[in-house]
Amino acid sequence: MDRLRTLPVVGSLVKFADERPRLAAWIVLSLGIVILLLIEARDVGLLFGQWVALIVASVLVAGLCIWIVTFEDNSNSTDETKA
C-alpha cells in the first residue's frame, strides 16, 4: 500500500479514500451503477430528462446503500464509547 502512495495520481486517490471511506465508496458504487445503466439502457430510446432522472436516482440509491452498510459501524462505535 505504501508503494501506491508514491504514485502521483493513485497516491492522492488512496489518501482521499483513507480520509473519507464512505464518500469514496459512494463515488465508486455510483460510477459502477451509472456505467452499467448506460451500457444496458443505451438502446431503449429514453429522453434526456429520463436519463437524468435515472442517473440521479442511481446515485441516490448508491448513497443509501453505503449509508445502510455503514450504519452498523456508527452504532458499534457509540456503544464502545459508552462502555
Phi and psi torsions of 33, nearest 5°: -65, -45
Give long-range contacts, CB 8 A cutoff, 24+ apart: 19-27: 22/66, 22/67, 22/70, 25/66, 25/70, 26/62, 26/63, 26/66
How buried is residue 9: exposed, middle or buried, by Cβ count under 10 Å (0-12/13-18/19+)?
exposed
- The ranges of the chain with pLDDT < 50 are none
Q: What is the pLDDT of residue 82?
A: 56
For position 18, what pLDDT does the model report? 86
